[in-house]
Structure 1
Amino acid sequence: MRLKVIEHRTTHPFHKALETVITGIGKAGLTVFAEIDHAKAARDSGLSMPETRVIVYGNPKAGTPVMLDTPLTALDLPLRILVRELPGHSSAVAFHPMAEVFEELGVRREISARFDAVQKAIVDDVCGSCPTRTSNDGQLA
């Protein structure tokens, strides 16, 4: 199975999109565990790239029982969401929808669907009805 990517493009500048994602995670009752700043790491290595952050988030009360029942889900938990700067002061928010992956590992559909619902709710806070692109090979033009 190829891992899908869903990306929403928004007219929000990067920092506004990032702030809205982090706020949405909190509103959903989830915890931000880490923020990976790829652009800073590039700068620290003498390279440059547009602002690019991965937010690692979740809820141990939801994720732990799933990992106990299906240990391989721990490879994909906690969840991650990418916020990246696009040319023209806009941004994109992307994630891997995990329900299908978790179902393939043996997680019941009604449980795995909750993960996609949470991800969608967070992105909807940022984008509402902004354009969405889906890829099955991780490549979005």
Structure 2
Amino acid sequence: MRRVLLLLAASAAFLIGAENGMAEYTSRYSVDETAKRLVQILRKKGVTLFKVIDHSEAAAGVGVKLRPTKLLIFGNPKMGAPLMECSQTLGIDLPQKMLIYEDEAGKVHALFNTKAYLMWRHGVDPECAPKLQKKMGVALKTFARYATGNLKEGETPR
């Protein structure tokens, strides 16, 4: 039985590692409006916004034309610190980040590292703070869905 569980764990790790570890939502809004909506939901949920980096503005400063691209860095120590007790290397990926960018076709996307990828990358035992692990995954998806206008009709952010 133990060999079967180890084989399943190794297979799951391979599959998670084989994907790019990112979730992406297409937005109904511009980069600026999507970022504004993300900030709104973060504030509503009591999450700290640490920084907004405007990559396109920085690129323009060195003579490079980059489509609108913003990186928002945010987090909540009540969630992040206990997860870092599970694996302190999570500190390289926390606080969380969400990239909002416009592609070559003019579509706007919100992109973030998935909870599953982060837990796999840092070897976090599923039994270590399982409620927080689940909460992290739900929160990231909810933030992205709200920011991009992808909540179902009548659905409210949790």
- Fold shared by both chains (TM-score > 0.5): yes
Percent of residue pairs identical = 21
1:32 partner amino acid: L
1:1-12 correspondence runs (5 A): 1-2=17-18, 3-12=20-29
1:4 Cα deviation from its structure 2 partner: 1.4
Instruction: State the TM-score, normalizing by the size of structure 1.
Output: 0.80
CA distance in structure 1 between the aligned counterparts of 2:52 and 2:43, rounded to whole angstroms: 14
**Change in CA separation of 1:64 and 1:129 when aligned onto 2, cut-off 3 Å:** closer
1:87 Cα deviation from its structure 2 partner: 5.0
Instruction: State the TM-score, normalizing by the size of structure 2.
Output: 0.72
2:33 partner amino acid: K
- The structure that is strand-richer by fraction is 1
User: What is the CA deviation profile of residues 26-49 of structure 1, one whole-angstrom value per residue up to 9, with x for unaligned ones?
Assistant: 122101011121111111111010
Uncovered stretches (5+) of structure 2, i.e. residues with no partner? 1-16, 153-158
How many residues in Structure 1 have an aligned counterpart in Structure 2? Answer: 130
Task: Say if 2:38 is the partner of 1:21.
Answer: yes
Uncovered stretches (5+) of structure 1, i.e. residues with no partner? 131-141
* Larger Rg, first or second structure (1 or 2): 2
Worse-superposed segment, 63-72 or 40-49:
63-72
Partner of 1:139 in structure 2? none
Partner of 1:47 in structure 2? 64
- Of residues 85, 101, 110, the one that matches 1:84 is 101
**Change in CA separation of 1:14 and 1:100 when aligned onto 2, cut-off 3 Å:** closer
Worse-superposed segment, 42-51 or 98-107:
98-107
Runs ≥4 residues deviating over 6 A: none
1:89 Cα deviation from its structure 2 partner: 5.3
- The structure that is helix-richer by fraction is 2
User: What is the CA deviation profile of residues 62-120 of structure 1, one whole-angstrom value per residue up to 9, with x for unaligned ones?
Assistant: 21122133211111111110111245654111111123432533253332121111111
Worse-superposed segment, 97-106 or 74-83:
97-106
2:23 partner amino acid: I
Q: CA RMSD in A?
A: 2.1
1:4 partner amino acid: G
1:1-141 correspondence runs (5 A): 1-2=17-18, 3-86=20-103, 90-102=107-119, 104-106=123-125, 108=128, 109-126=130-147, 127-128=149-150
Contact 2:21 2:117 in 1 (8 A): no
1:15 partner amino acid: D
Contact 2:71 2:98 in 1 (8 A): yes
CA distance in structure 2 between the aligned counterparts of 1:38 and 1:111, rounded to whole angstroms: 31
CA distance in structure 2 between the aligned counterparts of 1:106 and 1:8, rounded to whole angstroms: 28
